[in-house]
Every structure is written in structure tokens, then in C-alpha cells.
Amino acid sequence: MIRFDSVTKRYPDGTVAVDDLELVAASGQITVLVGPSGCGKTTSLRMVNRMIEPTSGTIWLDDEDTASMATHELRRRIGYVIQHAGLFPHKTIVDNVATVPFLLGTDKKRARSTAMELLERVGLPAHFAKRYPAQLSGGQQQRVGVARALAADPPVMLMDEPFSAVDPVVREQLQDEFLRLQQDLGKTIVFVTHDIDEAVKLGDQVAVLRVGGHLAQVATPAELLSRPVDAFVAGFVGRDRGYRALGFATAGTLSTRSEPTVATGAPLPTGSDDDWLLAVDGARAPQGWLDMRASAPAGATVTDGLLHRGGTLVTQGGSLRAALDACLSSPSGRGVVVDEGGALVGTITAAEVLELIEAREPEPRT
């Protein structure tokens, strides 16, 4: 557990970066600090490992006042991941990961063995071990940064916008990998981001900070979206917070209709009454939509070049947000529902999903 007890950071010029912060980051959970630029997110994070010293107040690590601990002992208990990974360019990837165990006196063979296990855990193949940071993509470097922070098996991790420097697709992959790791490891994590979508996806609790380092609200993602405490929080969370909140509402077992399909690689069908046909592979996994109104050369087959792949899929039992998105993103207007193995179950329309949304129990008035 990390506890901020009336913590303030005031600089010599009078600037107040963090003002009387009261916050608890629970053990084994992800606490996300989010807010506009200048709200004290990173300052708050760096005060935990004393890269920045508080002006007043106390930060507790479990039952210990961090100010009473030697900084090197404190930092050995805390993993730290930053935006650009901060890898040593002259060291191989395996030796970057093994840096802290080396410093703690672990013999090289054991430290490198542990590093290899961690590289596999964060999704990097073994042959990356002998490469250097410059030979890796930004997303791969961030994975190495996470592995290095985990190398000494710290109970606490601080993460300062670790995924913001990579493209959206890689960022989503890193977020998913991070959640999988946390499910296995159960670390106490404080995570800084400026992206409310990332905060809602990753956080067990989200702390919204105002400019000047004032805590505006701390709540679970679902509560934050449904009950922002004031206009500032509502505005920061965004006008589409109602749509985001659907991500926390399960759709249950969706009632789907049978959807006509065509097999990939098969000759283009003719004489269909449907404007759109769903293409599936041999395992009945949806591959895209075929526009039956479009002209195609004689003898053509159902190939990637003819398929519209814009629609997302919703897994049976997923969220209402995923179900609605599947409908709205589908070129046919029909959302594609799949089972846990990715095989086609059927389709559903946006109107049917909206009926499910309207049928939800209203929140009690307080």
C-alpha cells in the first residue's frame, strides 16, 4: 500500500505542484493518476521513490515513512518505468533487464536466466536477448523497460506514461499485455497518464487531479464515468463518458440471428438476395464483409482484396459497448458476435443493442 498523507510540493519560486494530497493506492491494485498538464501527476509519482522530495506531508510505503528510509533501499523496493524506456544503449537487451539483479549481487548466470524468463513474459522472443536497444522498435523497447522494472521482483511499480510514445495499435497491445501481467503478478502500481481512455481501461481506481495538484475525485472507472463529482471532472472525462460507461455493463447472452456466409477462397456467389455476405474461414471465424453490389471480374474468388474489414467483433457475453461498437463499425450495419474461440455465433443490430441498453436497471437516486 502507498498512502499520501497531506503531501505538498512547493518550489522555491512559489509554484505549488501538489497541494495537500490525500490518496491511498491499495496493495495489489492499479491506481491511475490522470489530469491535464500541470496538475502534478508526475510530481506525485516521483515523490514516492524520492526522486522529488515533498515539501510537507508524509508518504507511507505500507507502514513505513519513506522519508525515514535510505533512498537506495527505497528504490530497490520500487520498479520504475518511464515513457521512453530509458535503456542503456551500450548494453544488450538481456543485460539491460539484468541490471538491477547485477547491482544487488546476483551472479550473472542466474540474473541473465531470470532476465530471459522476463523477456518471454513480456512477449519478446529469446533471440532478442543479444540485440541492442537501437535494434528494437519503440513498443519492443517499452516491453524491455517493463521487464527491467520487474527484474528485482519489486512489490511496487511506478509507471510514468510508459505507453504514450508508441502508435495506437502497439499501445493497445502493450496495455493488454500489461493487464495480463498484473493479473499474474498482483503488484501495487501507480500509473500516470494524460489519456482518460487508458486510465479507464487500466485502473482499478482512477484519481483525477486539477491544475495545481488538487485531487478532484478518486473512484473506480465505472463510478467515475457514471458519477463525476463536478463539472471539471465531467469535462475532463469527456462528453462521450456515457458510451465509455457501457464498457462496464455486460450485454449478457446476446440473442443473435443466423447470418448467411461465404467461405474465403470460394468462387464469388451470384444471385444472393443480401447486399452483404459475411466471409468466414474454415474454422468459421469471420474474415470480413463481401459487398454483393460491387462489380468483380469473372471467375473471381472471395479474397482479402474484396473484403471490407472495418467491423469489430463482440464476444458473446461481452460488454454493451463492444456490442454497440460492433454494430456501428460494421459496413452491413449488423454486428458480428463470436464465441470465446472466435467462431461465428450470429449477428445483431444496433437497434437491438439499444433495446438492451434501455432495459438496464436505472441507477438509484442519491
Residue 53 grid coordinates: 522530495
pLDDT at residue 363 tops 70: no
Whether the CB-CB separation of 322 and 251 falls below 8 Å is answered with: yes
Output the pLDDT for position 250: 87
pLDDT at residue 304 tops 90: no
Which pLDDT band holds residue 294 (cuts at 50, 70, 90)? confident
pLDDT at residue 361 tops 70: no
255: left (phi over 0), alpha (psi -120 to 50) or beta: beta
60: left (phi over 0), alpha (psi -120 to 50) or beta: beta
Output the pLDDT for position 156: 94
For the chain, the C-alpha Rg in angstroms (whole number) is 25
- Among 115, 114, 120, 170, smallest CA distance to 142 is for 170
Give percent of the chain with pLDDT exceeding 70.
98
Structural domains in the chain, CATH included, are 2-248 (3.40.50.300), 261-358 (3.10.580.10)
Which of the two residues, 277 and 365, has the higher pLDDT score?
A: 277
Output the pLDDT for position 246: 85
Residue 43 grid coordinates: 510530481
Output the pLDDT for position 365: 41
pLDDT digits (tens, 9 = 90+) for 19-75: 999 999 999 999 999 999 889 999 999 999 999 999 999 999 998 999 999 998 898
Output the pLDDT for position 362: 55
Q: Give the range with max mean pLDDT: 240-254, 271-285, 312-326.
A: 312-326
Q: What is the pTM of this model?
A: 0.78
pLDDT digits (tens, 9 = 90+) for 7-22: 999 999 989 999 999 9
Query: DSSP secondary structure string, 272-296?
Result: -S-SEEEEE-TT--EEEEEETTS--
pLDDT digits (tens, 9 = 90+) for 88-118: 899 999 999 998 888 778 888 888 998 998 8
